[in-house]
Amino acid sequence: MADNDLASIQEARDLVRKARSAQLGFAKLNQVQIDQVVQAISKVMTAMAEDLAKLAVEETGYGNWEDKKQKNLLASEKLYERIHALKTIGVIAEDRQQKIDMIAIPAGVVAALIPSTNPTSTTIYKALIALKAGNGVVFSPHPTATKCIGKTVAIIHQVLKELHISEDLVSMITMPTLEGTGELMQHADLILATGGPAMVKAAYSSGTPALGVGPGNVPVFIEKSADVQVAVRRVMAGKTFDYGTVCSSEQAIVTEESIAAEVKKALLAEGCYFLEGAAAEKIKGLMTGPRGSMNPAIVGQPASTLAQMAGIEIPSGTRLLIYEEQGVGAGYPFSYEKLTSLLGFYTVSDWQAAGNLCNQLLQNGGLGHSMAIHSNNEEIIRHFSLNQPVSRLLVNTPSSLGAVGVSTNLDPSLTLGCGPVGGSSTTDNVGVKHLFNIRYVAYGLDSASEQQTDNNGVDVEAISRLVFEQLKKMNYVPTNV
């Protein structure tokens, strides 16, 4: 094993040990004190949203800073607005009628795995929800994003220092390797895994409780009752956001023959370019990496950069490159997830065929994640909600923004559960409620005789005896009487 692998393993062990020590003290704070820490970090991160966004783009080359700033604000400002009033420490509920109390117990030390596509925003979000629940957190950054993630952690350290809280509570592996991340996952109390399928699988195989997410291959159905112009603008807003790096971004449009020409016209008006012939083949050649997966070089790139990489000419101002795909699966690259300015396009006969095709697309790498529908037909919307294997059905909203809670009232989150069908342990937008355990304090009920009488004074025991007497006269005697 290489020296850096051994160093990474040792660093992971040390960071977890220090975080656990710091967390034991942190967990003794009351709700007000915990909330002050979370509020302070949120406020500073809101102010730093633009600087961190620019640093993330500079380091990774993915996306654009304007949209990454919005993701940072989602992870700091909007998330704080949603969680600040939640009870997460100590007694969080007392039900005197049912005689059950609920006490929140922190998970302990959270291992937080951070992707390169949303590095600073995911770090901010995981830090806030971990601390709100009384936990410590150790980050394992993607190797191509250590600088911007490290800067984010350093800012958190400054806040903790000012509040006289141990900086060991929040830390980051500075020498990230697969071996070091594996060691971190084994020694932590809970794993928050956001990243590729292999990493999520490793998290669930580590022996440590994990919350991971599967890949997104989000189909978007534009149904004939929709306002096509509005629907297309929403699709464009979703797919072009941060150049498609959000896992819930639209991957393929599915629409009906009766409105297909209108949809195409609207897409062209919004700056889309439909690929054909040699240009299409050149772009397809870019899409697959050396190991058969998505080529990382195309991730989070504008259409102009993709065209330059492929050596093709496209109109100035083109925002998306679209290809009319003919199938799903091997040999049909536009039927897979594309975390960049590429979009598939399918035409089907009717909404039933659209449902079947959307299901196939989800089976092709997006099970349990999300899909979008643009429609004014509530019956069709309900049919899709009952039959599509997703955890989120986004209705008349950009899927990338709606799924993470920007344009919907879903919980703000950058870790979107896919449920058992997608290999996840939850279908929720993962948040603070997933990072603490609940201890139930259950008091004994009143005496049995009192429990047999309802609030109106009816003697249930006496009524039962009368019923059994009648049953005996009917030659039926219950076995247990």
- Closest by CA position to 264, among listed 346, 349, 191, 202: 346
Clarify whether residues 91 and 177 are in a common domain: yes
Clarify whether residues 130 and 143 are in a common domain: yes
How is 426-455 classified by DSSP, letter by letter? --SB--GGGSEEEEEEEPPPPPHHHHTB-T
Question: Cβ(127)–Cβ(102) under 8 Å?
Answer: no
Read off the CATH number of the domain in which 230 is found.
Answer: 3.40.309.10
Query: 247, 272, 358, 418: which is the annotated catalytic residue?
Result: 247
User: Is 419 inside any structural domain?
Assistant: no
Per-residue tens of pLDDT for the chain, all 481 residues: 558 889 999 999 999 999 999 999 999 999 999 999 999 999 999 999 999 999 999 999 999 999 999 999 999 999 999 999 999 999 999 999 999 999 999 999 999 999 999 999 999 999 999 999 999 999 999 999 999 999 999 999 999 999 999 999 999 999 999 999 999 999 999 999 987 777 788 888 899 999 988 789 999 999 999 999 999 999 999 999 999 999 999 999 999 999 999 999 999 999 999 999 999 999 999 998 766 678 999 999 999 999 999 999 999 999 999 999 999 999 999 999 999 999 999 999 999 999 999 999 999 999 999 999 999 999 999 999 999 999 999 999 999 999 999 999 999 999 999 999 988 889 999 999 999 999 999 999 875 544 555 556 677 778 878 877 877 777 776 666 5
Clarify whether residues 65 and 174 are in a common domain: yes
Look up 247 and say whether it is catalytic.
yes
CA distances from 263 to 35, 65, 326, 404, 419 (A): 48, 30, 17, 26, 33
3-state SS assignment for residue 401: helix
User: Is 138 inside any structural domain?
Assistant: yes
| Whole-angstrom distance, CA of residue 249 vs CA of residue 266 | 19
Clarify whether residues 203 and 165 are in a common domain: yes
User: Is 423 inside any structural domain?
Assistant: no
Print the domain residue range for 391. Answer: 218-410
- Let me know the angle formed at the C-alpha of 272 by 267 and 278, rounded to the nearest 5 degrees: 125
Question: Cβ(108)–Cβ(190) under 8 Å?
Answer: yes
In the DSSP assignment, the letter for residue 475 is T
User: Is 422 inside any structural domain?
Assistant: no
Q: Residue 58: exposed, middle, or buried by beta-carbon count in 10 A (0-12, 13-18, 19+)?
A: exposed
Read off the CATH number of the domain in which 203 is found.
Answer: 3.40.605.10
User: Is 400 inside any structural domain?
Assistant: yes
